[in-house]
Amino acid sequence: MRTIYIFILLLVVLSCCNEQHISKELRLLQLHPIILPQDDLIVFNSDSIINSEENKLKYIIYSDSLACTSCMINNLVSWNSLIEYGKNFNKEIGFYFIFSPERKYLRSINMLIQHSEFKHQIIVDEKKYFEKLNPYLPKDHLLHTFLLDENNRVILVGNPLHNKKIKEMFYKIVEEKLGKPGEVAVKED
């Protein structure tokens, strides 16, 4: 099933990118589980550090030092509807916004976050641990938004806010893995 989603994603993304380059980066991304850093992070809008153990699905939204971090921070409120949808699943879906700005922009990025209307957890990784723990991350920032399964394996790549097909696949994956919104999940002992 995972291969089907990645294949569909390839068809969607290839229309605007170099096929061979994207294909290689996606294969590398698929081969390794994503490791989320735990230490030396600045966390906004939360009392705790990353607690991904309780999430069966994790949407990672990553911005490295090459991306326009301030642009992404200003547009974070666009994620609110998906985050609200995720709340229907009793913390089984986590959204992780990880920013690794250049050190010289760190203060201004922190100020932007503090004054943002976005009230979900934001992680500032000033020491670039996320990148160090995951050296196979694609260089292409269009591939820095992805959904992980319960084993932290990439099952969907792309931003559902910018692509209707990615959004549809996101909802389909969530329903396949967790059921429909509002259904009470039965935990096995």
Q: Select from 144, 163, 175 the least CA-distant residue to 29.
A: 144
The overall average pLDDT reported for the chain is 79
Edge-first strand order for the sheet with 93-99 is: 42-44, 122-124, 93-99, 57-63, 145-148, 154-157
pTM of the model: 0.80
Weakest-pLDDT range from 9-13, 69-73, 157-161: 9-13
Residue 66 has pLDDT above 50, yes or no: yes
User: For the segment 124-155, what is each residue's pLDDT rounded down to a tens digit?
Assistant: 888 889 999 999 888 877 788 999 999 999 99
- Tell me which of 82 and 17 has the higher pLDDT: 82
Residues 6+ apart with CB under 8 A from 102: 65
